């Protein structure tokens, strides 16, 4: 109990990993994911917050960052087993036919919901309270280096990446440092969880996002990452550009380019990349208990979204349901419960930035048959970060490809991306849509294999790789 409470007090509620666990575990209990699983959704409260003046909304984002941050004194005693205990405690006793371990992806959330399988992330964000200038990455590194070293030394099963993104995370960086921990070993708690709650012959899926990022090495299992996956690549973060200069001017910074520590190596990206060190213990546990191991290899987490969307369409056709309603989600605002109740095909995007927009456009351009209805929900990060796509373009892409109706849903378009009420609004918006279907029985591994065999030559399959790994013996 103490382990679970300690982790709960240190985790970040809007972190993609914690949100994935909460969303999937709530779905297993027949619940939706309103307000990121933290409370009731409320369109009226969301509108009240989003109608505040821009300056007030920005202050609220900063205040939210302060409330999410964890004092150093509390983080000091956190262990990898605490994080594992919190994860295991979110799920019921099983038995589960499968489990997804590794990199985060909203597409995996929907695949796990279809199979009624848990998600066990390799990475968790611990927001360590600190006053940091977002535009001074060297200072941020120096201020947090010693504490990070102490945490790594006390947790040999974890790697720590101090992530610093002054573009997308600017609203939060002024109140906390992004400490992202990657699990390198299962540990006793997760070994027991898998041994006790997986069904005989269950499948362990390793979600392997091969996304790498240049990092500064601070010590054994300790790194600093400047920038993050989203609106621009690592070279632009490090070398600067005209649009970075414009962004800094808009933020009233005296700088026009960041001065970041030079990177030493490429390592799996802090939030989304998978460290393959964990695989050996997964294979050993699978061999001991007779489980299959299958690796899903993706370049970026949203690369799985077209295949999962195609899978849902295939599943709906088998249930004699329409397959012409598309629900586009972004970052942590996923809703597996309402996707199934509405008969909506889920398509998840990492962020509301230009690369994700292009990925969606490519999918809609090539998918057949086209969708009759397209709804787009947008996550708000509190500022116009580099590469952010304006709400008008999201409206436009939905209208362009939808046969009958398309647009943005659950978003205050005037407030975006400072729509601080967005987390409270997306669930009521979906719940208000017409058409309901009963919650279906879960798909089986046989169903999934049948679909994959039929889709083997599709473009969605060519962007990823499914492979069976041989479990280690001896």
Residue that finishes a domain, picked among 266, 298, 330: 298
Please determine, for residue 209, whether its predicted confidence score (pLDDT) is greater than 50: yes
Overall number of domains in the chain: 2
**Choice among 169-178, 185-194, 215-224 with the minimum mean pLDDT:** 169-178
**Domain range for 286:** 2-298
How many Å apart are CA 369 and CA 43, to the nearest integer?
A: 33
Q: Is the dihedral of CA 116, 120, 333, 43 positive or negative?
A: positive
Residue 430 tokens, joined: 């979906």
Is 197 inside any structural domain?
Answer: yes
**Three-class secondary structure of residue 312 per DSSP:** helix
**What pLDDT is attached to residue 472?**
58
Given a cut of 70, is residue 1 above it in pLDDT?
Answer: no
Q: Rounded to the nearest 5 degrees, what angle is found at the Cα of 76, between the Cα atoms of 164 and 280?
A: 75
The answer to whether residues 49 and 134 belong to one domain is yes
DSSP type of residue 388: B
Mean pLDDT across 251-256 = 94
Token couple for 248:
């800094």
pLDDT at 471 over 70: no
Q: Region 267-274: what's the mean pLDDT?
A: 98
Tell whether 198 and 108 lie within a shared domain. yes
**pLDDT at position 5, please?**
60
Across the range 407-425, mean pLDDT stands at 92
Do 281 and 207 share a structural domain? yes
Comparing 301 with 459, which gets the higher pLDDT? 301
Using DSSP, state whether 454 is helix, strand or coil. helix
Q: How many other β-carbons are positioned within 10 Å of the β-carbon of residue 84?
A: 25
Residue among 311, 381, 322 nearest 347 (CA): 311
Which tops the pLDDT comparison, 420 or 143?
143
User: Is residue 471 included in any domain, yes or no?
Assistant: no
CA distances from 319 to 69, 322, 342, 450 (A): 45, 9, 13, 15
Q: Are residues 162 and 37 both part of a single domain?
A: yes
Q: Is residue 437 part of a domain?
A: no
Upper half-sphere CA count for residue 124 (Cβ side, 13 Å): 29
Q: Work out the average pLDDT over 311-316.
A: 98
112 lies in the same domain as 261: yes
Residue 395 pLDDT greater than 60, yes or no = yes
Instruction: Identify the domain boundary among 298, 317, 339.
Output: 298
* 463 within domain boundaries: no
Give how far the C-alpha of residue 240 lies from the chain's centroid of Cα atoms, to the nearest Å.
Answer: 27
Q: How many residues does the chain have?
A: 474
d(CA 144, CA 139): 9
> Is residue 347 a part of any domain in this protein?
yes
Comparing 232-236, 270-274, 435-439, the range with the smallest average pLDDT is: 435-439
Average pLDDT value over all residues in the chain: 93
**pLDDT band at 64, cuts 50/70/90?**
confident
Q: Are residues 267 and 331 in the same domain?
A: no
Please tell me whether residues 258 and 362 are part of one structural domain: no
Asked whether the beta carbons of 355 and 299 are under 8 A apart, the reply is: no
pLDDT at 45: 86
Residue 280 within any structural domain of the chain: yes
pLDDT 10s digits, 332-349: 999 999 999 999 999 999
Q: Which whole number is the average pLDDT over 166-187?
A: 93
Instruction: Verify that 209 and 276 share a domain, yes or no.
Output: yes
Asked if 227 and 244 count as a contact pair (C-beta separation under 8 A), the reply is no
Q: Are residues 332 and 291 in the same domain?
A: no
Residue 72 lies in a domain: yes
pLDDT the model gives residue 474: 47
Q: Are residues 228 and 283 in the same domain?
A: yes
Partners of residue 373 on adjacent β-strands: 325, 405
For residues 239 and 96, membership in a common domain is answered with yes
Between residues 316 and 171, the one the model is more confident about: 316
Residue 442 included in any domain: no
Tokens of 38: 């933290």
DSSP string, 234-293: HHHHHH--HHHHHHHHHTT-S-SS--PPPP-EEEE-TTT---GGGHHHHHHHHHHHT-EE
User: Taking Cα atoms as reference points, which of 95, 143, 108 lies closest to residue 17?
Assistant: 108
* Distance from C-alpha of 223 to C-alpha of 159, rounded to nearest angstrom: 8
pTM of the model: 0.95
Last residue of a domain, one of 253, 280, 298: 298
pLDDT band of residue 263 (cuts 50, 70, 90) is very high
> Looking at the predicted structure, is the pLDDT value of residue 6 above 70?
no
- For residue 420, pLDDT over 90 is answered with no
pLDDT of residue 42: 81
Is the same domain home to 46 and 76?
yes
Task: Please tell me which residue, 420 or 377, carries the higher pLDDT value.
Answer: 377
Q: Which two tokens mark 457?
A: 């030559």
pLDDT average, residue stretch 34-54:
84
pLDDT band at 25 (very low <50, low <70, confident <90, very high): very high
Residue 59 pLDDT = 83
């Amino acid at each position: 109990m103490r382990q679970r409470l300690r982790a709960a007090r240190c985790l970040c509620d809007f972190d993609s990993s914690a949100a994935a666990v909460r969303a999937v575990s709530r779905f297993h209990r027949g619940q939706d994911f309103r307000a990121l699983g933290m409370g009731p959704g409320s369109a009226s409260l969301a509108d009240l917050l989003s109608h505040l003046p821009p300056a007030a909304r920005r202050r609220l984002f900063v205040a939210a960052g302060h409330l999410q941050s964890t004092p150093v004194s509390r983080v000091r005693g956190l262990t990898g087993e605490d994080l594992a205990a919190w994860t295991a405690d979110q799920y019921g006793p099983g038995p589960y036919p499968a489990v997804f371990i590794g990199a985060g992806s909203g597409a995996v959330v929907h695949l796990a919901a279809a199979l009624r399988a848990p998600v066990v992330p390799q990475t968790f964000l611990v927001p360590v309270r600190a006053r940091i200038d977002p535009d001074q990455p060297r200072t941020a590194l120096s201020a947090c280096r010693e504490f990070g070293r102490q945490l790594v030394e006390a947790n040999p099963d974890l790697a720590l990446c101090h992530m610093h993104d002054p573009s997308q995370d600017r609203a939060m960086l002024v109140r906390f440092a992004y400490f992202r921990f990657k699990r390198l070993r299962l540990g006793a708690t997760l070994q027991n969880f898998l041994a006790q709650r997986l069904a005989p012959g269950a499948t362990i899926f390793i979600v392997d996002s091969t996304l790498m990022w240049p990092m500064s090495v601070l010590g054994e299992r300790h790194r600093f990452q400047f920038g993050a996956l989203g609106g621009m690549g690592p070279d632009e973060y490090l070398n600067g550009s005209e649009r970075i200069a414009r962004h800094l001017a808009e933020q009233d910074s005296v700088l026009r380019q960041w001065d970041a520590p030079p990177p030493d190596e490429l390592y799996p990206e802090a939030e989304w990349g998978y460290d393959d060190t964990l695989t050996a213990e997964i294979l050993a546990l699978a061999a001991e208990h007779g489980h299959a191991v299958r690796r899903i290899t993706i370049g970026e987490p949203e690369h799985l979204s077209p295949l999962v969307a195609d899978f849902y369409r295939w599943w709906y056709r088998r249930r004699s349901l329409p397959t012409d309603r598309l629900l586009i989600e972004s970052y942590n605002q996923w809703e597996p419960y309402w996707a199934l109740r509405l008969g909506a095909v889920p398509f998840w995007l990492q962020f509301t930035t230009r690369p994700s927009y292009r990925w969606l456009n490519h999918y809609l351009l090539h998918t057949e048959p086209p969708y009759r209805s397209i709804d787009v929900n947008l996550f708000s990060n509190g500022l116009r970060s580099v590469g952010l796509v304006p709400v008008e373009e999201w409206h436009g892409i939905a209208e362009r490809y939808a046969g009958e109706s398309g647009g943005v849903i659950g978003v205050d378009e005037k407030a975006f991306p400072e729509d601080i009420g967005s987390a409270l609004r997306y669930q009521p918006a979906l719940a208000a849509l017409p058409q309901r279907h009963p919650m279906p029985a879960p798909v089986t591994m046989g169903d999934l294999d049948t679909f994959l065999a039929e889709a083997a030559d599709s473009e969605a399959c060519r962007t990823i790789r499914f492979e069976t790994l041989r479990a280690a013996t001896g």
